[in-house]
Structure 1
Amino acid sequence: MLEKISFEKKFILVLIIYFLFWMVIPPVFSSSFPLDVPEGIYWGKEFQLGYYKHPPFSSWILYSFYAVFGVFGPYILSQICISLTIFFVYLLGKNIVSKEKAFYSGVFVLSIFYYTWPSIEFNHNVAQMPIWAGLIYVFYLALKKNTWSAWLIFGVVTGIGMLTKYSVAILVFAIVLFSLLTSYRRLWLTAKPWVAVVVALALFSPHVWWLYQHDWLTFTYIQSRSHEDGGGVNHLAAFKYLASQIVNCLPLLLILLCNKSLSFKFRNIKIDDRNFLFFIGIFPGLFLFLLGLVSGANIRDMWASPMWSLVGLILVAMIPENIFQNHKKGLAKGLVIWLFIISVLMACYIQFGGQLRHKPSRMDWPQQELSLKAEQEWKQISHCQLDNIGGDNWLAILVATKMNQMPSVMMDTSAAYSPWMNLQRLEQKGSFMLWEKDQKPILPYVSDLEKNDQLVIYHGEWQITWAKVPNKQPLIIQWQAFVPKSCIQPKE
C-alpha cells in the first residue's frame, strides 16, 4: 500500500505523525505540566489586560485551549504554533523561490532546535513564533503590493504581537529600519503604513492603560528580577548567546552538509528579496548579540527562539536548482532522521529523565495527587467551594490548574502580582495555602487573616512519594487553611 504513495506524500505523512506524536506523548508520559504552562493557565483564567511578567494574549489563548482540550490543550497549542510558523514561511517562500523550494524552506523550520524540544513548554516564546513569521510575511506583502488589506493585517498582527511579548518590538524595529534604509521608504509618505500604526496602537493601548493603572508592574518586575539575578555587567556573555544560536541551527547545517547542498550563492532571486531575507531573517538575532556586547546585559538564549524561522528559507534559496532537484529526497530524509532522533529523545527524557538524573523535573511532580489531596482536605473542613490557593508559587499553580473547578491563585512576595485578590475576598471566602516543609514563603495578607476571629485556621502535612524517582526522599507538603466560620463543615 505504502509503495503506491509518492515520496512527497510519505514525507507529509511523516510530518503529520510527528506533530501528533508531540501533541500526545508529553501529556501521556508526564505527571505534571512544565514550568511555564500552569502559570499561563491560571493567568488566562483571570482574564486580565496584563500580568506581572508579560502582556496577556498568550495566556488568554492557553487557558482557552486548556478549557477545551484539557491536559492535551497546551501541547496541541504549541504544535499549532509551530505548524503556523511553517505555513507562513512557506507562504513567504512562494513569493521568492519555487513552490517546491518554499515547501522545504517551511518544513526546515523543524531542523532548528528551538522549534522542536522547547515547544513542549508552551510559553510566550512559543506563542511568538507564528507571530514573527506571520508578521514578516504580511510586511513583505505590504511592501510589494501596498494594498490596504496588507497594511491593515500588518497593523493587526503587530498589535497582537505586542500583546504576546514585548520582544516583538525588536522585529518591528527591524521592519521599520529596513523600510527606511531601502527604496521602500517612500511608502511612509502615504497613509497606509500610518493607518497600520494606528491599528497596532489601538490594539495595544488597553494593555498600556492596564500598565498605567498598575504602576507599570511588568517593568518593575523585570527590573527587580534583573537585580535578583545579579552577575553584574559581562560584555563577553554575548558570545555565549551567539554560540548558542549557532548550536540551535546545527541540525539544519548538518543536513545540508551531509547532502552536499550547502551553498552561499543566490541564483535567480531578486536583489531586494535577497536583502529582505538577510536583513529581516538575521538582524533581530544579531541585534540581541550587539545589545549584550555593548551593554553587558545577560541576554538569555531563549529570547531569540522566534527569530530564526527564515534561516531555512535563506539556505534553501541559495541551493542551485539542479542540486536541489537531485538532493531534495536526501534533504527530506535528513529532516526525518533528525525528527525521529529528537522525538525519541523527548519521549525518553519525559519518561525516564528523572530516574537517570535521580532528580524529578517539573514534569515529574505528582500534580494529580496534590490536587486531590487539597480538594479532599478542603471538603473535610468546609462545605463552601474553594475560592483560591496560595503559598509556594509552583505548588499553588500546579494544584490549582488540575482541580475540576479551578480556584484563583494568589502569588507570594507581593500582593500586586495577584490584583484579583484582596483582603476582603480572603476574609469572605477563606484560602488554602501550601508549601514544601519548612519553606513557608512570605504571603500577602496572612498576618491579617491570622488575627481575624471570623476565620478558623487548620494545619496539616502530607507525604507523597515520587512515582518516577522512587529512591528520592518523599515530598513533604505543609498546608494551612483559613475557613470562614459560616463555611465550617459540621461534625457528623
Structure 2
Amino acid sequence: MPQNAAFKGVVYLLLAQLLIWGLLPGLLVESLPLDVVEGAYWGREWQWGYYKHPPFPAWVLHLFYSTLGDMGPFILSQLCIALTLYCVWRIGCRLLSCEQSAFGVLALMGVYYFTWPSMEFNHNIAQMPLWAAAVLLFHRAITDWRYGDWLLLGLVAGLGLLTKYSTLVLLAAMFLWLLWRPELRKELLRPQPWVGVLAMVLLFLPHLFWLMQHEFLPFSYFEGRSARAVEQGWSAWGALRFLLVQLIDHLPLFILLLVAGFWRRSYWQKPDSNAGFILFMGLAPALLTVIGAMITGAGTRDMWGTPMWNLSGLMLASMIPAEVLRQRQRPLLWAFGGFLLLLTVLMLLFVGFKDQIRDKPSRTGWPDEALAQTLSQVWGEHTECPLQLVAGQYWPAELLALELPGVSAVPESDLRLAPWADVRWVAEQGMIEIAEGDRPRWDKTLAELGDWDAEGQFSVPWPRLPDHEPLTLSWRLWLPHTECVD
C-alpha cells in the first residue's frame, strides 16, 4: 500500500465524502426515502422473503434503523460504498500497480451510482459490496485454489442471491471466464469450486422454500416491472438504451479526466496484460443483461446497472501508465475534490430544502410522526384494543407501521403480500386502512372482510410547507371481534 501524499489525499477525500453523506442526511430529513421505508419495515417482520425481493438487505437495514434511527440507513448506504471501494482497491493491487489501484478507486466517485443514488439504501446499493467482494474472492480462488477462498466466494454469492436475483448475472460471467480460459476449464472437476457451490445453495435454500410456499411472489413483481418497461418502449431497442444510459452515468468521470489533463494521447496505453480479467468481469454483466433482454424480449431498468460498474475505474487505470498517474496526482485530486464538494453542497440543499425550492412536498418531507399520532388517536376513539394492523398503499402504510411500535402493515391492502397477517387475524385484532386524499377509491382486495365499522379522514400540515395545502388521509376501520389481550 503506497504511503505517499497522493494516496493519503485520496483516502482523506473519500473518508470526508463518506462521513458527510452518511451522517448529515439523517439529520435533515423529516421522513425516510421510499425504498428505505419499505426495506426497514420488511426487516422488522423477519421473513425469509418479501413480495418484491429476497430478504438480506431488509434484515440489515432494520438492524441499522432500530439501532441508529433515521441516520442508520444513510450510514449503512455509505458503509456499502466504503466496502465496495475497499474491495476494488484489493482487486487493483492484485492485478495492477498500487498507483493504478488508487486511481481506480478515486475514479469511481465520478460514476453516478457511487454518489447521488447512494442517499437511498436499497437492494441495488446492497449489491455493490457483495459484487465487489465476489470478484475479489473469485480472483483469489482461481489463482490459489484454496478451499477457504472458494467457501467464502460461495457464502458471498449466497448473500448476493439473498440480496437480489440479478447476482446470477455476475455468477454467469464468472462461469464464462472459467470456460473461456483453458487452464481454468480443466480445473472445474476439482472439489474446491463445488465446495463454494454447496455453500451458496445451502445459504439460499431457506429462501427457495419460502418462494415455493408463497407462489414465487417476487417473480410476479419482476414480470410486472419488466412488462411496464416493455409498454414504455424499452424492449426492442431498450436493451441497447440500457447500455447508453450506463455510458451516460460515466459522463462525469470522463469530464473530470479531461479537466485533470488526460486529453493527451501520450497519457494512455493499451490495457495492461493483467487487465483481461478486469475488463471481462467489468463488462460481461452488463452485456449479458442486454443479451438476455434481447433474447427474451424482457424490459430493462436503468438502475439495474448499479452494481455492475465497480471495476470501471480499474478498467481505465489499466490504460494509464503508473508513471503518468504519479505525474498527474495533484490535478486529479483537485478535479475530483472540487466535483465532490459541489455534489455535497447540492446534496445538502436537495435533502434539506428541496420542498421549499420546488414548492412541492417530497417523500422525505412527510409528517410521519404527526400522522402516526393522529392515526393512533383515531383508532383509540373507537376501541381500547391496541392497533396492530395498517393497510393501504405501501408507502404510507409502511411509513406509519415504522412509526407505530407493534403495528404491522398490509401493503397495497393485499393480504397476499403480507404473510405475517391473514383474515383471521384481522377479524380478531381489527385493522385500519388508509388512502391519500379525501375521495379514496378503496381497493376491493379486502372485500372478504365485509363492511367496515367506521370511516373518516384527517389532515396534517406539511412540516416544511406549512402554508401548503395539508396532507389528507382517508381511513376506514374494522373493529376487533375478540376481547383485547394485554
The residue that corresponds to 2:31 in the other structure is 32
Equivalent residue in structure 2 for 1:480, among 472, 476, 481: 476
| 1:76 counterpart letter in structure 2 | I
Distance in 1, matches of 2:178 and 2:285, equals: 15
Q: Does 1:400 align with 2:401?
A: yes
- Cα drift, residue 331 of structure 1: 1.2
- Seen in structure 2, the aligned counterparts of structure 1 residues 338 and 233 have a Cα distance that, compared at 3 Å, is closer
Moved over 6 A (4+): none
Q: 1:195: Cα distance to partner?
A: 1.6
Report whether the alignment pairs 1:18 with 2:17: yes
* Residue in 2 that maps onto 1:454: none
**Any idea what the Cα deviations from partners look like across 1:328-377, whole Å, max 9, x if unmatched?**
12212222112111111111112222233332222122222212212233
In structure 2, the residue corresponding to 1:18 is in which secondary structure? helix
Moved more, 410-419 or 128-137: 410-419
Kindly tell me: are residues 223 and 296 of structure 1, through their superposed partners in 2, closer, same or farther at Cα, counting changes over 3 Å?
Answer: closer
Note the C-alpha offset of 1:72. 0.9
In the alignment, does 2:55 pair up with 1:56? yes
Whole-angstrom distance in 1 between the partners of 2:325 and 2:178:
32
Look up the match of 2:181.
Answer: 182
Q: Which amino acid aligns with 1:213?
A: Q
Show the counterpart of 2:311.
310
Deviations 1:242-272 (A, max 9, x none): 22111111122222222233655246x4x3x
Range that drifts further, 296-305 or 172-181: 296-305
CA offsets 1:161-220 (integer angstroms, 9 cap, x no match): 001000000000000001100131122021111121111111111111111111122112
2:214 counterpart of 1:214: yes
Give the stretch that moved more between structures: 148-157 or 441-450: 441-450
The alpha carbon displacement at 1:42 in A equals 1.4
| CA positional deviation for 1:470 | 4.5
Give 3-state SS (helix, strand or coil) of 1:481's partner: strand
What's the TM-score once normalised by structure 1's chain length? 0.91
The one-letter amino acid paired with 1:92 is I
Q: In the alignment, what sits opposite 1:201? A: 201
Q: Secondary structure at the match of 2:254?
A: helix
Q: Distance in 2 between matches of 1:473 and 1:219?
A: 39
Summarize the alignment of residues 167-316 of structure 1 with structure 2, pairs less than 5 Å apart: 167-183=166-182, 184-227=184-227, 230-231=231-232, 234-261=235-262, 264-266=268-270, 269=272, 271=273, 273-316=274-317
Partner SS for 2:342: helix
Work out the CA distance in 1 between the residues paired with 2:83 and 2:56.
17
Query: Could you tell me how far 1:419 is from its partner in structure 2?
Result: 1.1
Query: Is the contact between residue 391 and residue 440 of structure 1 (CA under 8 Å) also seen in structure 2?
Result: no
The TM-score normalised by the length of structure 2 is 0.92
Q: Distance in 2 between matches of 1:252 and 1:233?
A: 26
How far is the alpha carbon of 1:97 from its aligned partner? 1.7
User: Which letter does structure 1 place at the counterpart of 2:65?
Assistant: Y
Distance 2:441 2:479 in 1: 19
1:9 positional shift: 3.8
Aligned-partner Cα distance in 2 for 1:284–1:410: 35
Kindly tell me the number of residue pairs found equivalent between the two proteins: 476
**1:435 matches 2:435:** yes
Structure 1 letter corresponding to 2:292: L
1:264–1:406 distance in 2 versus 1, CA, 3 Å: farther
Which residue is equivalent to 1:127? Answer: 126
The answer to whether the 8 A contact 1:233-1:296 is kept is no
Q: Which residue identity lines up with residue 173 of structure 1 in the other structure?
A: A
Could you say which residue in structure 2 is the equivalent of 1:387? 388
Stretch deviating more after TM superposition (75-84 or 293-302) = 293-302
Show the counterpart of 1:81.
80
Shift of 1:397: 0.9
Q: Root-mean-square deviation (CA), in Å?
A: 2.3
Asked if 2 retains the 8 angstrom alpha-carbon contact of 1:432 and 1:481, the reply is: yes
1:276 deviates by: 0.6
SS in structure 2 of the partner of residue 189 of structure 1: coil
1:415 alignment partner in structure 2: 415
Q: Compare 287-296 and 205-214 and name the one that shifted more.
A: 287-296
Note the residue ranges of structure 2 that are not aligned, 5 or more in a row: none
Shift of 1:406: 4.2
* Equivalent position of 1:460 in the other structure: 456
Q: How far off is 1:21 after superposition?
A: 1.3
CA distance in 1, matches of 2:444, 2:419: 14
